[in-house]
Structure 1
């Protein structure tokens, strides 16, 4: 493995760094974007029960799910329950923007790695070709062993760039779809909370 990395030339160092960062982002987002963490099932069950009863609890949310994205939306809605539906929707939207930002954390970096990695591989290819032409200009092309170093640098760098870029792009698209799905679910639950509070406010 070390010989293969060495054969790829200097461009392998940034490619390895990109792969380590991409792997860390993938594992962190797989943990952070779990549906059970964003939309805790017990909190969803409570919300359905409150909807069936036609009212939300007078107290603020308590327990381990209060700091989940859904819990934060419900919490700000409850904190502003006396200010009317429009105000409630505004504070939910404001909090929702922060929640979406947190859900999308590091995704731009992952997308950047998916874009940069093949370019680094191409740069390594160009570097290897320059090395080959330098050897040819000095030594001629009769001895292929003299050209092997440049050829291996060009091929290994290209392959390494693609190996880093392809999984990064796949996970970037996967996480983008996961975020969109979670945001849609959060919006539905937030609207349910706003409607419940609005109905509650209209009661005598």
Structure 2
């Protein structure tokens, strides 16, 4: 721990924002890891229970989805189930709107990681440049520098490069976390689409029977009422 603190001190003032980005990246990674762990470890069971219940009783399916509202998949499935005798188009529209809201939440932290990936290497280069400027400013080149001065200059250059290494490490870490989150988000969008399609098919086949009703010369569909 003391060695790490020494490196931060040697890196100069530019190390402060780099350390800040590193802390933010780790915090974001931990928060997103907990979010995805909860979702991925429970959503298959919730989806199975809701779809099975939906084949026999929509009220039971709605109850199961309500109990899972703390997860995106629960809120996604609940959105159409809480409607009163919707048409298939309204049923699908409710799911799509709920899915869009949940996908926004799943992308939480992406902007921070993108900013870290872009800014951290630049901060590292800035620290290196300012360190080199200070190092060369202390050299007495015209007067013939001594061995001691050369040693101090070499040490100063080494310290200046610390910020470059730190900035690159933080950027690489943020990029890895970001790419993992993007992959999980893409897979989750496909999963939501498949689950939503299956729920909509169940509703169309089991619970919605369009009856042809003559009304003022127009033929209109009517949702079936089942217990």
Quick check: TM above 0.5? yes
TM-score, L = length of structure 2: 0.79
Alignment of 1:27-176 (within 5 A): 27-34=30-37, 36-37=39-40, 40-50=43-53, 54-59=55-60, 60-62=62-64, 64-80=67-83, 82-136=85-139, 141-142=145-146, 143-148=149-154, 150-176=156-182
CA distance in 2, matches of 1:5, 1:133: 21
CA distance in 2, matches of 1:35, 1:122: 39
Detail structure 1 runs of 4+ shifted over 6 Å in the superposition.
none
CA distance in 1, matches of 2:109, 2:173: 15
Task: Please say which structure displays the higher CA radius of gyration.
Answer: 2
Structure 2 gap segments, 5+ residues each = 211-223
CA distance in 1, matches of 2:169, 2:53: 50
Between 73-82 and 109-118, the greater mean CA deviation after superposition: 73-82
**How many residues in Structure 1 have an aligned counterpart in Structure 2?**
202
CA distance in 1, matches of 2:73, 2:36: 13
Pairwise CA RMSD: 2.3
**Of residues 12, 15, 20 in structure 2, which corresponds to 1:12?**
15
Return the structure number with greater helix share.
1
CA distance in 2, matches of 1:36, 1:10: 40
Q: Is the 8 A contact 1:11 1:121 kept in 2?
A: yes
TM-score, L = length of structure 1: 0.88
Structure 1 gap segments, 5+ residues each = none
CA distance in 2, matches of 1:127, 1:35: 45
| Deviation (angstroms), 1:191 | 1.5
